[in-house]
Structure 1
Amino acid sequence: MRALEPIKYILLFLLLCNIPAYSLVYFGPGLGATTSVLSSLLLIIYFALAKPKHKPPLPFIIFGLMFFCFSSFNYSEVDTTNFFIKEFSRFMIVAFCSATLLYHSKTSDFFFILLIGALSIICNAILFPEANAEHNLVIGRFSGFFLNPNYAGSACLIGFALSYRINSRYIMLAGQFLFTFAGILTLSRTFVIVWLLINLIAIYKSRKNLMAPLIGVGVLLVVFTMTDTKIFASNRFSALESFFGDGPVETETLKEDSRTDTWAMYYDMITDKPLFGHGFMKLQKHTSELPGVHNTYLLVIGEGGIVPFLILIGIYFYLLIKSYNHFGSHPELLYIILIVMLSMTTSHTYFFIYNNILFSIYVFIMIKKLKAMPSLISD
């Protein structure tokens, strides 16, 4: 297994830090395609050579098969059939092969890989703030390797959640500071809300976790006093400041570009074909009329119909209940699944960017481990 350690870390970096998509945007289609193929190929190699193997997560495989099967019924873009086959193959490789990779990975592995991602966000904001405009990314909100600030915020939240399993208190606190700092730089409303939620739950579990909110205060002081605020999107940044100032909170900015308004554009479309959906990519595309659904749950029922939607709901209801049952010994499992489920309400990249499915499978594996040998779980 030691011979496979380099492959494991390369894979975790490629997959969890969104390197194929980052390479495509920053270095062109050649390197983007190379890193994409490399990640799939290395995943297959790792699955074939690693011992002991772990059983593939059957619920996720069934879900993937059902979604792509049903969404193919109304897939009318014949000229991009190769694209459909390619994305189906990549997703199923992840769903089938990743369990073995995750089974042999430690919490600390995920923590440090995501920490690299968080540092890329900080570098993006402090050293290369102009890179976003140069590559047609969101201006004034920073995302590093993750490209999308909301996706970057979710990755920072998962890293923050995993910090509670790090044995060294100094590394844990340093990680919490960096993940919080990087998350604030994304100016993601979801990040702020979920970060506060995790901290409230963590403090409820143990008063020892009171240090994390103090870290958050320290991060805000750094951002407000030591960072060049001109690099930020002015409306988002002023709304963030209003949370902690003496004046009223800028609720209008917080409501701006509300996801609920975006979702409402698709309700009639979804109810028009609830059984088999409208076909692959029909709700994901950004057009002049529609902005993309920005909701994984609506995406699944809108493109694949009711069957994959019910399977998806069943999977995450199971993970939520079981992770809650293990909250006393492994609180990070509940934090992770809450982050993933909330992230899925604001994104439609589940089948292209794999953090959500990878960490869902990780929670699934951990639940199975705890059931089979609770006394042997260690990191």
Structure 2
Amino acid sequence: MKVIIQLIALMMITWGITSFSLVAFGSGAGSAASAFTYLILLGYYFISEKRKLLFPFIILGLTYYMISGFVYVESSKYFINEIIKYFIIIVCGAELARNTSVQQLCLFLALGSLSILIHATVFADGYGRYSGFYLDPNGASFICLIGYSLSYSIKNIKLKYLYIILFTLSGILTFSRYFLVMWLFVSIIAIVANKKNAQGLFLGFGSLIFILSLATVLQLNTKRLSMLESIFDKDSTEVKGFSEDSRTATWSQYTDDILTNPIFGNGYKALSGGAGGKQGVHNTYLMTIGESGFIPFLILIGIYLFILKKSIPHLYTKTHLPLMALALVTLLMVIHNYFDNEVLLFISIWVFVNVIKPNGKSEDIILKIETQLNN
């Protein structure tokens, strides 16, 4: 029974079922899916072993919600509801993360990314950017990048290559500039860790060429498609499109708001967009300081720098950990829905508990020796 509950909880979180149900089937289905997700997390927690709470994430949530809520809250009911959901993820989700293996997480993310391919082939539309269950192409690209990073931990070669192709194809179909840039960085770092990982890079470029060959069939986004095609044309000027409508321009719109109240911020959801048609800040770091001031901001930076630092010693033995840590640190620079993002919080917790596992150092030394011998 415990295993079944675990798998259902993983499905609900890693596939973004709550938000998908809301958009696909209406508010009633969305509310029911949300309630089910958090109830099953609570149920799983009560039948699981209780280990140490993740105090860094708890302190982050307490400071963010207390300070931003004290400054300004538009809807108290919504605010309280979001607080409850955050702490359920942090407390109950931590036990789920501790009991979730690399293989399980990679499989569920692969099934989730498969929905992007289905979206592109069966439900192609005029927008030309696809996201499957995740609704937002940028959010979907994060799933693909994390899955791609996890692929390097799979021992079965055929399965590993299948995952690499699947996550790369799905990520390309999101047409996220973040994915394209970070996919290349992640691939290079993986090769540094083990030269045999170069095969992943070649498979990725092959996937890119395959997507370009099916451009008209899949009704891809023409502007971003031309940017991809320009990679293979040295005389093309379309590549400049990668820098158009950049995140830095979006960040600059909120500079005055952040500098006006850097100590306590401007209140809950103040930088999340919507007011006057203004889009959100698209940067979790700036969102945090802009809404709740420098204390939660410093805690947030501290948590992810800690994750990144602790993951580096695993580069040659558990390559997926530093790759995932890098993806998390950089992702926070392009999104602003952090505290209510179930899958992002869960992945953050999963990486956190895996980089601080006891006896990890001695295990890594053995694995590193084996890796070097194999090379």
TM-score normalised to structure 2 length: 0.94
- Higher mean Cα deviation, 158-167 or 221-230? 221-230
What stretches of structure 2 of length at least 5 have no aligned partner?
Answer: 368-375
Out of 300, 316, 341, the position equivalent to 1:312 is: 300
Cα distance in structure 2, aligned partners of 1:47 and 1:142: 34
Residue in 2 aligned with 1:245?
A: 233
Query: 1:300 aligned to 2:271?
Result: no
Residue in 1 aligned with 2:42?
A: 44
Residue in 2 aligned with 1:261?
A: 249
Residue in 1 aligned with 2:60?
A: 63
Cα distance in structure 2, aligned partners of 1:371 and 1:294: 38
Query: 1:329 aligned to 2:317?
Result: yes
- Higher mean Cα deviation, 142-151 or 209-218? 209-218
Residue in 2 aligned with 1:136?
A: none
Deviation at 1:245, TM superposition (A): 2.4
Query: 1:224 aligned to 2:212?
Result: yes
Deviation at 1:287, TM superposition (A): 3.2
Cα distance in structure 1, aligned partners of 2:110 and 2:346: 17
Q: Which amino acid aligns with 2:284?
A: T
Q: Deviations over 1:251-276 (max 9, x none)?
A: 43112211000000001100101111
Query: 1:123 aligned to 2:121?
Result: no
Cα distance in structure 1, aligned partners of 2:203 and 2:237: 22
- Higher mean Cα deviation, 360-369 or 15-24? 360-369
What stretches of structure 1 of length at least 5 have no aligned partner?
Answer: 134-138
Cα distance in structure 2, aligned partners of 1:82 and 1:281: 14
Residue in 1 aligned with 2:72?
A: 75
Runs of 4+ more than 6 Å apart = none
- Higher mean Cα deviation, 90-99 or 243-252? 243-252
Question: Structure 1 residues 370, 327: closer, same or farther in 2, change over 3 A?
Answer: farther
Cα distance in structure 1, aligned partners of 2:173 and 2:242: 16
Deviation at 1:227, TM superposition (A): 4.1
Deviation at 1:249, TM superposition (A): 4.7
Contact 1:11/1:42, CA 8 A, preserved across alignment: yes
Cα distance in structure 2, aligned partners of 1:189 and 1:239: 10
Q: Deviations over 1:6-54 (max 9, x none)?
A: 111111111111110010001101110111111111111101101x333
Q: Which amino acid aligns with 1:321?
A: K
Cα distance in structure 1, aligned partners of 2:218 and 2:324: 33
Out of 107, 110, 129, the position equivalent to 1:112 is: 107
Deviation at 1:371, TM superposition (A): 4.1
Contact 2:121/2:218, CA 8 A, preserved across alignment: no
Cα distance in structure 1, aligned partners of 2:51 and 2:235: 55
Cα distance in structure 2, aligned partners of 1:11 and 1:144: 19
Q: Which amino acid aligns with 1:122?
A: L
Query: 1:272 aligned to 2:260?
Result: yes
SS in structure 2 of the partner of residue 141 of structure 1: coil
- Higher mean Cα deviation, 179-188 or 319-328? 319-328
SS in structure 2 of the partner of residue 318 of structure 1: helix
Query: 1:366 aligned to 2:354?
Result: yes
Query: 1:214 aligned to 2:214?
Result: no
Deviation at 1:230, TM superposition (A): 6.3
Q: Which amino acid aligns with 1:345?
A: M
Deviation at 1:191, TM superposition (A): 0.5
SS in structure 1 of the partner of residue 145 of structure 2: helix
Cα distance in structure 1, aligned partners of 2:188 and 2:360: 31
Out of 73, 81, 86, the position equivalent to 2:81 is: 86
Superposed, 1:98-247 pairs within 5 Å as: 98-130=93-125, 139-228=127-216, 231-247=219-235
Contact 2:72/2:268, CA 8 A, preserved across alignment: yes
Residue in 1 aligned with 2:335?
A: 347
Query: 1:31 aligned to 2:29?
Result: yes
Cα distance in structure 2, aligned partners of 1:48 and 1:68: 26
Deviation at 1:240, TM superposition (A): 1.1
Contact 1:18/1:353, CA 8 A, preserved across alignment: no
Q: Which amino acid aligns with 1:13?
A: M
Residue in 2 aligned with 1:54?
A: 51
Deviation at 1:324, TM superposition (A): 0.7
SS in structure 2 of the partner of residue 73 of structure 1: helix
Q: State the percentage of identical aligned residues.
A: 37
Q: Which amino acid aligns with 1:257?
A: D
Question: Structure 1 residues 197, 373: closer, same or farther in 2, change over 3 A?
Answer: closer
Q: Which amino acid aligns with 1:113?
A: F
Q: Which amino acid aligns with 2:41?
A: L
Deviation at 1:217, TM superposition (A): 2.0
Q: Which amino acid aligns with 2:221?
A: A
Deviation at 1:285, TM superposition (A): 2.3
Q: Which amino acid aligns with 2:116?
A: I
SS in structure 1 of the partner of residue 152 of structure 2: helix
Contact 2:124/2:218, CA 8 A, preserved across alignment: no
Question: Structure 1 residues 113, 230: closer, same or farther in 2, change over 3 A?
Answer: closer
